[in-house]
Every structure is written in C-alpha cells, then in structure tokens.
Structure 1
Amino acid sequence: MSRVDPVPAPVPPPPEPALSTGAVARRLGVSPTTLRSWERRYAIGPARREDGRHRRWTPEDIARLDEMCRLTARGVPPSEAARAALGEAPAARAGDRAAAVTPGGPGALPLGEVRPEARGLARAAVRLDAPAVADLLEAALAEHGPVTAWEEIIAPTLHAVGRKWASAGERYIEVEHLLSWHVSAALHRARPAPERSHTPPVLLACAPGELHSLPIEALAAALGELGVPVRMFGAALPAEALRDAVRRTGPCAAVLWSQSRTTADRALVRSVAGIAWGPPGARGHSALLLAGPGWDGRDTQPRAERLFGLRSGVAVIAALAAGPGPGQGAGRGPGPAAGRAAPAACGS
C-alpha cells in the first residue's frame, strides 16, 4: 500500500491588531474624551493595556463600542446603551424604545462607499456630538489637507445629511445645521501659508442672495494652504459691493459661487466681466470664474469660464495667480479650456 502523507492543519490567520484610543475614536466618530468617559462611567473599556497605561482596543472591544454608538445615535441613554452593548440588557428592547423617540427611526445616513472617516463623522453628527464632530474635522484637515478632506470626507457627509432630511420631512435639519456650523468653523481655523508677495489676490464671493457658502469656504482654505492671497466675501454679497471689490482689489481672478439657478445672475456676470481696473494705459480685467451647480445648463458668458471640481479649480486658480502663461497677456481671463478641467461642479 502506498503511504498517504497527513494533510497539514490550516494555519489560523494572525489576530487583528489592537488599536489605540485615537484610532478607534476616528473610526467610530466619537472623541477620545468620550471613550474615556464611557470607560470610567459604564465600564465599557478595552480588554488590555500596553505597559499598564496605553489602552489597546481589540476587535471585540470595538464591536461593543460600535453597538453603543449605534444605540446612542438612536436615542438610547448612554447608561442603558452600555448595558445592552455589554450583554447586560436586551439590545432589541433598547433599540425599539429608541425608534419611538428618535427622528428618522433606525435608518443610517445614506453614505454609500466612503472613507471610514466619513462614516465616523456622520455618526458623530447624527448623535449631535459636537466635540467629536470638531475633533474629527480638525483631524481630517490636518491629515489630508483641505482638498482631500472636503472631497472625500466632508462633502459626502454633508450630502448624506441633506438627502436624509430631504426624505424625512423636517427631521434631521438640526444635524445638518450642527455639522455645517462645525465644518465652517474648522475651515476658518485652517492656518494659511504666508501669502506670496506681489501677487494679485483672488476674490471669492457668493452671488447675491446665495447663502450656501461652505464650498467656497473650502476653496478659500485650499488656496490659503498654497499661499495664494485670498479676499473672501462670503455669502450673498450684493451686486454693487461685488463690483466695487473687483475695482478696488484688481484681483487676478474673481470666483462667483451659485448653488441654485435662482441666484445664477447672468446680467451680473456680464457687468463684472466688463470691469477694467488699473491706471490709464495699463488697465486690465480679472479672470471671472463661475463655480457651483447654479450655473449648470447656462450658456458661458463672454470673458467668463466655469470651474469644475475643487481640486481642478484650485489648479486653475493657482496657475492664474502664478502669472500669465505663454500667449496669455496680463489681466486676461483663463484660456478657453481652463474652466473645463474636471467633470463635477466645484464643491457641489
């Protein structure tokens, strides 16, 4: 008889690494302070520590925290949520009671395929956990920079919140307001690089009547990171104030944001595009760049170009701020293809 070699036993996969408190907080959308508070008050802490001091959270620890986050987001008091997560109280009963008192019931935000940081931010916003929202936004901007943080973390979360309250009547508006306020505050806290000397500024403004300013605030933060001088005028700048600002600053570019077709004023575009500034004999025109979904489907106006996508929009503006390229005179707008660098409306 032939000898049959024994089949080797399968090698078990290596255990998943334990995570630090900061990494767990970013994944779940809570602040490290909240995790330490839960551990102290409700004994829902990590199974082990390194050197007796540093908390290290195993997958089982994180699963319990994830359940506690899910229940508290649905309105369960933290003490009761902790007992359910630890197996000391029926989770179904706690969840049923939460669904009766929490706007929107058990449904989560419709995020789709997004970065883990976006899911954590969404969870913190739904819980109205302002300290966690602030911490997560600060970490995202510091780690990824304004462009990536906006495009891959902040904007997807804002869009998901907007879709949620649009489908739930008046519910979840408080979540959008809290998140928007903290996004704006985080963008304003981003410290710009020193401005380039002898570089004309870039003027950023929302169209008259336009109150949705977060995307252009993200653009201001991204340009500031590059040291491009920015003059930011925010939401709903009156038409005459916009024209005066262009005349007084002589910007290399003026960006006009419109979220809605009702604020996309073509007559204003024509009047701003026609403004000349500078001393007689050396007068010039600013590049006029139109950003936002309000301009979709509108004919491009003379001397005006569209911006598409925050990342490509930053590249277009940075090139203008660096000076005229070959064959492009000073004081002129971008070339015909400058505003068509990417498919999605800037920051929309």
Structure 2
Amino acid sequence: MPGASGAAASTASATPAARSAAPGAAARAGLPVPPRSSAPGASAAVEPVPGSTTAAADGPAADGVPVPGATGTAPPALTEPGGTPARPDALPSPGTPPAQAASPHPAEDARRELRGLARAAVRLDGPALDALLGDFVSRHGLVAAWEEVMVPALHAVGRKWESSGDRYVEVEHLLSWHVSTALRRALPAGGAPVPAAAAGAPPVLLACVPAEQHTLPLEALAAGLAARGLPVRMLGAAVPPEALDAAVRRTGPAAVVLWSQARSTASHALARHVAGTAFGVRGARTRPLVALAGPGWAGRAPGPGLARPNSLHEALALLTALYP
C-alpha cells in the first residue's frame, strides 16, 4: 500500500480465507500476523515475530470497514501462538506499572475497541483514535493492545483499501500514525524501573534491513522492552549495512533484531555477518544474538547465533532472558 510510514501487519492466519487476503494493503503496509504453532509452548524458531495472534473471521463492517473477530471469539491475549497458557516469562512482572499490566479477558473489550477504531479512522477522528487506543493500553497492557486491537484494526483497514479501488489510503495513514503514537505513549512517566541485571548492560539493537521501510512492529517491540526497563536502541527503517555494522561495533549489543517484511528485502548474508561480529576486549570477545523478525525471513531454519521469534510475546521473552 502506498505511503503509510511505519505501518505494521499482514494476514497469514490458520484459515484459507484469511491467507487469501495476505497480498492486500495490510500486507503491503507491513502487518505481520504469524501462523499459529501447533505445539504447546512453541519455541522461538518458528515464523516471524512481533505480530498478532488474532485470526478470527471478519465480522460486521463499521462504516464500511470490516472488523476482524467481531463474529468470532478472539483468543485470550495472554496465550502463546498455539493457544496454550502464556509462559510465566511472558507475563508482566509484579513490578510492572499499571499501564502495562494485562487483563486476562480483553476479548470483549477488543471487539468493541475494533468497532470504535474503525469508525473513528473512517471519520479521520484523530482525538478519538488517541482516546480509544490509550484507554485499551492502560486497561489491558501493551502486548494485548498490539495483538488484539492494533494489528487487527490495521488489517481491517487494509482489507477495505484492497477491495475499494485504492480508497481509504488516508484512513490507513492516520490509523498507523496514531498506533505509533500510542506505542510511544505507553511507557510510564519517568521510565520503567531498571532490573538489576540490566543496569549498565548492553542494549538490544532494533533495525530494519536495507530497503525495508516498515517500522511499526519494531516500535511495538521497543515499547515492550522499554516497559520492562531493558536498554534498547532503535535505528529505524532501511538501515544501510555499513551503518548497521558500525552501530553493532560501537554499542556491543546483547541482541540485534532485524526486521524484514518481504523476502525481497531479507538478507541472510547480512544476518550471518551481524551474528558473526565479535566485539569486546581481547580474550573476552562476544557476539550478539540476532533475532530474525518479520515474514521476509520465512522459509529457512535459523542458523548458528540466529533466532526467529514467533510473536511479540516470544520476542520479549527471548530478549528478556538475556538479562537474567
């Protein structure tokens, strides 16, 4: 889809009908929804990354924009991609600020929120979008808001764009901007408490691969990491290889997350290079973990030093484990 800077989500769900929608505007906008794993407690080496686990059938339209899941039952926000209860390390810690604490039953709220978001987006009502997104984040937490509301709403608008002859571009742009704003506003004033293990620790480096413009999933991951008090550096869209290499050597990161929305942008050679980059003092040199994020990396098993998280929950658990 033209334009939408930092848009985020695609539609690869478990149902053929949902898969058939993947080439639409939502996919072009960078909205990854990974397929669900069939195994309980699926590991990080499955499919791409921060995205949604919601894959219900589209329900009644709101002002012409279909609302995903409006006629079905959305999966609980605190589950792994296979529908099994979330691992303890995927749940908020006791010290998580109220704005990040998640409700165990946000499905009904999510469906109401989707209808409201669709109507507000079609009306180009920015203040309403801010209020709706902010309220859901404050009540159910950042991860639930991303997986149960933000990605499905962007997908719904993308589906409408695809079926309406390139109309609603302005709707998708506006919604993407306000989702990005809500992610940045999700953090508590003054920042989150920093865990002892993260004090002075190397950061997680987030970057889109060269020629990749879709940053919104990385923004969700950055917000989730910062909410846990973990150090993060966001390099943004289309980072040149030389700049990425320089950033890795200068920051000595614990992990590097590389986002690729399409196979045409995924550079496995670049990922291997980053995974093999050593830094530190002689005799104690180390290398970063490289997380391959996004549907562009699908089709190959991760090699040594590489991981492929399957959801926002998994990405946060994978990276949080680096700060024991």
Q: Note whether the superposition's TM-score is higher than 0.5.
A: yes
Answer with 251-260 or 196-205: which moved more. Answer: 196-205
C-alpha separation between the residues in 1 aligned to 2:268 and 2:119? 40
Task: Indicate the SS of the match to 2:321.
Answer: helix
| 1:108 corresponds to which of 56, 61, 65 | 65
Q: How does 1:15-94 map to 2 (within 5 A)?
A: none
Match of 1:20 in 2: none
Aligned pair 1:279/2:285, yes or no? no
Q: Which runs of 5+ in 1 are unaligned?
A: 1-103, 323-348
Task: Indicate the SS of the match to 1:263.
Answer: coil
C-alpha separation between the residues in 2 aligned to 1:105 and 1:118? 9
Cα RMSD of the aligned pairs, angstroms, is 1.8
Task: Indicate the SS of the match to 1:262.
Answer: coil
Match of 1:162 in 2: 158
Contact 1:253 1:288 in 2 (8 A): yes
Q: What is the TM-score when the length of structure 2 is the normalising length?
A: 0.64
| 2:170 corresponds to which of 163, 169, 174 | 174
* 1:48-87 Cα distance to aligned partner (Å, 9 max, x none): xxxxxxxxxxxxxxxxxxxxxxxxxxxxxxxxxxxxxxxx
Match of 2:192 in 1: 193
Contact 1:261 1:295 in 2 (8 A): yes
C-alpha separation between the residues in 1 aligned to 2:280 and 2:316? 26
C-alpha separation between the residues in 2 aligned to 1:210 and 1:134? 27
Q: Name the amino acid aligned to 1:274.
A: G
Q: How does 1:193-342 map to 2 (within 5 A)?
A: 193-195=192-194, 196-322=198-324
C-alpha separation between the residues in 2 aligned to 1:181 and 1:123? 16
Q: Name the amino acid aligned to 1:112.
A: G
Q: Name the amino acid aligned to 1:185.
A: T
Q: Which runs of 5+ in 2 are unaligned?
A: 1-60, 75-109
Q: Name the amino acid aligned to 1:145.
A: G
C-alpha separation between the residues in 2 aligned to 1:193 and 1:154? 23
Q: Name the amino acid aligned to 1:265.
A: S
C-alpha separation between the residues in 2 aligned to 1:321 and 1:254? 14
Contact 1:203 1:231 in 2 (8 A): yes
1:108, CA displacement in angstroms?
A: 3.0
Sequence identity, in percent? Answer: 58
1:302, CA displacement in angstroms?
A: 3.1
Say which structure, 1 or 2, has more relative contact order (CA 8 Å, 6+ apart): 2
Contact 2:67 2:115 in 1 (8 A): no
C-alpha separation between the residues in 2 aligned to 1:152 and 1:105? 17
1:187, CA displacement in angstroms?
A: 1.2
Contact 2:292 2:307 in 1 (8 A): yes
C-alpha separation between the residues in 2 aligned to 1:206 and 1:194? 28
1:120, CA displacement in angstroms?
A: 1.2
Q: What is the TM-score when the length of structure 1 is the normalising length?
A: 0.60
Number of residue pairs matched?
A: 219
Larger Rg: 1
C-alpha separation between the residues in 1 aligned to 2:62 and 2:298? 35
Q: Name the amino acid aligned to 1:107.
A: G
Task: Indicate the SS of the match to 1:289.
Answer: strand
| 2:135 corresponds to which of 108, 132, 139 | 139
1:300, CA displacement in angstroms?
A: 2.2
